[in-house]
Structure 1
Amino acid sequence: FLVVEAVGALVTNSLSLLSDAGHMLTDLVGIGMALAAIHVANRRVQRSHRTFGLYRLEILAALANAVLLFAVGLYVVWEAIDRLQHPESVRSGEMLVIAIAGAIANVVCFLLLREGANESLNVRGAYLEVLADLLTSVGVIIAALVIAFTNWEWVDPIIGAGIGLFIFPRTWKLGAQAIRVLVEAAPPHIDVDAVRVDLAAVEGVVNVHDLHVWTLTSEMDMASAHLVVADESDLHTVLDRAREVLRVNYHIDHSTLQVEPASHTGCDDVDW
């Protein structure tokens, strides 16, 4: 239906219909890139120099999608400003028919995804995208009706600009999340200071240093740390309990912990 809507936008000269098609295109491209990246990242055969595999491809795809969303939104807003200054005629009848057909298609997808939205994060993401598409289709329908009954053709670029602006908050959120992962900042739901306190509370641990917590890709948080333990401590027990703290309290299944006797020196000399 994306092709139909894009062609319809050109035929009717409707900016709001074109922006709706652009919104749908970014959703389609974003989902496609994410699925392709996940497929490649999950391949079992990996080159030895890719020590973390290709999991970050999903994050790079999300960042590329954010850039695409921003470009589409910026173009629509720019075009809307130009059309407000230089009004153009819009064929509201055909525009209304195409917008209604788009809304019906979105309603069907909305109903199909509604049940699974509470069971899968990916399905919920697709469900929310369809809901956003439905709202933009409703906006185009309103614009077509207003133009048909009042001949206020300036409504079309106003609705188009509204759809363009509607894209920006999602773009900011998606881009910020991707950049946060790429700079290896700690996940927003994990308090690094609390992790340090919990690890230090493990029996036998006297100090924790070089603690790092980051996200490799979606739903895959990781951690590394040096645990300084009393010389008489059982290293195996300390390691097992520390890994359990990370797994149970913070849902970090992949952790790299270096256990060091208190009498050992040199491991904390690196200052970066």
Structure 2
Amino acid sequence: MRYPESDDHNHHDHEEHDHSHEGHDHTPTVNEGNVRRIRFVFVLTAGYALIQAIGGWLSGSLALIADSGHMVSDAAALLLALIAYRVAARTADSTRTYGFHRVRVLAALANGAALLILVSWIVWEAIERFREPTDVLAGPMLAVAVIGLVVNIVGFLVLRMGSQNDSNLRGAFLHVIGDLLGSAGAIAAAIGILLTGWTVLDPILSVLVALLVVRSAWGLVNESIQVLLQATPRGLDATAVVEDLRRLPGVAEVGHFHAWTLTDETRIATVHVVPMPGTDPLSLPPLIAERLKESHSIEHATVQVDAPGNLNRCT
């Protein structure tokens, strides 16, 4: 078997380097349905945030004020998500050859971080209310909270119909869930205060709502960080993938497998292989790329074919 002449790519010898898919197009796909959903919920959220802020100030309710702050944060997050979609839709250029996919991941990271900061502020304010209880007008608080619940249910239903594989939309969706919980907590606090007169219920329920939001927010932050660190895609076992490739006909050795997530729906991988004696090196890249796509949901694969004995010398 004759191998093509090697070159000095990455400062080591290799025999065949193929991207194994036509066009290698990384142009981002922007889901216009998601954009419309987020735009609608943004207008709804921003409008209600103003109403809730006024209602919280007039009634003296921390639960309403906290939820109002949450709504303002959500409106900003939704606006950021809309901007991220537009930026991500820009085509790749000579300095950003993968395009602007990661802008959506950065937006999701910012959304999660904003939620964590907001939760910290709510907990701090609640502690202050425990130390120095304040009067709460439960009637106006209840009326505003009920309106908020309706608004958030509408937002929840609209965003739920979108693609949950999109971390940008999922970040906005988590914000709306947090708002929905905040409105429910405010309603419960208002009813409790009306029935018992215990104004301490207001900060207690504020803290409970904040704690419910923490888990989702941290999950979003952690997932975004993993993507930016180019960690192995969630649910992908690199060792199992290598073992699977070794079982393919004509493959003698497999090594230097690396996989990462470009954006929410795109996985990329590189791998080195050594052909068995008598196997055409040019036949392996398409074979391996097809296996990675069909069995492991890796859309883009770069396959490098090495001569026997060269695999362990690659870095």
TM score, norm. by length of structure 1:
0.89
2:85 maps to which of 38, 42, 51: 38
1:25 aligns with 2:69: no
Q: Deviations over 1:28-57 (max 9, x none)?
A: 33333233223212212x330112221111
Corresponding residue for residue 219 of structure 2: 173
Task: Give the unaligned 5+ runs of structure 1.
Answer: none
Q: Deviations over 1:223-250 (max 9, x none)?
A: 0011111353112321111011001001
1:86 aligns with 2:132: yes
Pairs within 5 Å for 1:97-246: 97-112=143-158, 116=161, 121=165, 125=170, 129-246=175-292
CA shift for structure 1 position 206: 1.1
Q: Deviations over 1:95-146 (max 9, x none)?
A: 11101111122233445556x36x7645984666544433321210111122
By relative contact order (CA 8 Å, sep 6+), the higher-ranking structure is: 2
CA shift for structure 1 position 63: 1.4
Distance 1:216 1:142 in 2: 43
Conserved? CA contact 2:181–2:209, under 8 Å = no
Moved more, 21-30 or 148-157: 21-30
Distance 1:120 1:78 in 2: 32
Distance 1:113 1:34 in 2: 13
Conserved? CA contact 2:152–2:180, under 8 Å = yes
Q: Aligned Cα RMSD in Å?
A: 2.2
Conserved? CA contact 2:174–2:217, under 8 Å = no
Conserved? CA contact 1:23–1:167, under 8 Å = no
Moved more, 162-171 or 78-87: 162-171
Count, aligned residues: 266
Conserved? CA contact 1:16–1:163, under 8 Å = no
Query: For the structure 1 residues 141 and 240, does the alpha-carbon distance in structure 2 shift closer, same or farther, using more than 3 Å as the test?
Result: same
Conserved? CA contact 1:106–1:130, under 8 Å = yes
Conserved? CA contact 2:101–2:263, under 8 Å = yes
Task: Give the unaligned 5+ runs of structure 2.
Answer: 1-47
Conserved? CA contact 1:59–1:217, under 8 Å = yes
1:15 aligns with 2:53: no
1:77 aligns with 2:123: yes
1:50 aligns with 2:91: no
What's the secondary structure of 1:261's corresponding residue? coil
Distance 1:88 1:189 in 2: 49
Distance 2:62 2:205 in 1: 8
TM score, norm. by length of structure 2:
0.77
